[in-house]
Structure 1
């Protein structure tokens, strides 16, 4: 069993690992969290088969371990998993690290904010760090010449507008008078 301090994982792997931070769980329960009607289904959807694949992957890397089995309502017993100490440290580091690409704001960043809130952590340090990253990205994009043409112009304008919108999103969360943490 391999154990990694700083693993390279997919968004789905990180989401499944984060779901195991507050209590042991089994694949069916985790899949329901990310189902369309689940608590996090609006942010990231994971099918049951993907959850089980992620559990196998995380266990093989030493980031989670099986702790016991419990009887299900129907079907075979369900294996309960928990994050190992390495898994906990890794996912907490991931949750507190800002995304470095605009496209990950839609998935990873929103998952990180949601998990920090679910777990009772203050998301403000992440939001402050994310604001700095998005300001840097926006400033870099604003330096690019807008004399571009064709497809390049479409790309530059899209990234510029996404950077502005992403920064507004962060600023709105930072400006809320009601705390985001529980």
Structure 2
């Protein structure tokens, strides 16, 4: 949610639309509307967001929130952090890549850091497979295959980003930068 507010100030309903099943980010993370409003009510006292305006219209009033400096720093730091576990890649890494893409930011630093996390995991699982028998060997084979596929996925994205215009993973469309992104 903070990363969506990093893009631009929004109200909870707008965030819900972005993360709905048919929203542009709903393919990666679906966040139910009640959870969004609960999170907003916690982020404000934490000093990460602040109310900017109240929109009124035909429906209920909607509070538009903006990030504080602390909120911006938290988002920028989070977007640079690789996932520590292979099981987190489906949601964590993909969401970060989607958010970086939405802001027109280069994903290569994150991808290189993610590769650095995955490479020793793949190597350790390969070594462990040789020492296991029975179902433990099957389980390690599963984990090794998944970790290896994740590493290949990151390597493929790095190759695409390095060869593409502007370092974007999606080279078929121009980068979309916003002034608040710092460049």
Q: TM-score, normalised by structure 1?
A: 0.85
| Unpaired segments ≥5 residues, structure 1 | 1-15
4+ long deviations beyond 3 Å: none
- Among 56, 59, 71, the alignment partner of 2:44 is 59
Residue 77 (str. 1) matches residue 88 (str. 2): no
SS of 2:7's equivalent in the other structure is: coil
User: d(CA) in 2 for partners of 1:18 and 1:171?
Assistant: 25
Q: SS of the counterpart of 1:44?
A: coil
Q: Which residue of 2 aligns with 1:34?
A: 19
Paired position in structure 2 for 1:110: 94
Change (3 A) 1:149 1:91: same
Instruction: Check the 8 A contact 2:51/2:64 in 1, yes or no.
Output: yes
Confirm or deny that 1:99 pairs with 2:83.
yes
Aligned equivalents of 2:49 and 2:133: distance in 1?
48
1:129 aligns with 2:129: no
- What do residues 6-56 of structure 1 show as CA deviations (whole Å, max 9, x unaligned)? xxxxxxxxxx11000021100000000011111111111111111111111
How many Å separate the matches in 2 of 1:41 and 1:61? 26
Per-residue CA deviation, residues 109-162 of structure 1 (Å, 9 max, x unaligned), is: 111111111112111111111111111110111110343322x33431221111
Cα deviations by residue, 1:73-114 (Å, 9 ceiling, x for unpaired): x32110001111001101100001111100110001111111
Asked if the contact 2:13–2:33 (Cα under 8 Å) also holds between the matched residues in 1, the reply is yes
> Which residue in the other structure is 2:159 paired with?
175
CA distance in 1, matches of 2:133, 2:46: 45
Matching residue of 2:181: none
Greater helix fraction, Structure 1 or Structure 2? 2
- 1:18 partnered with 2:3: yes
- The alignment partner of 1:115 has SS state of helix
2:96, 2:46 → 1: CA distance?
21
In structure 2, relative to structure 1, the CA distance for the partners of 1:139 and 1:52 (3 Å cut) is same
The reply on whether 1:145 has 2:129 as its aligned counterpart is yes
Task: Give the root-mean-square deviation of aligned CA atoms.
Answer: 1.4
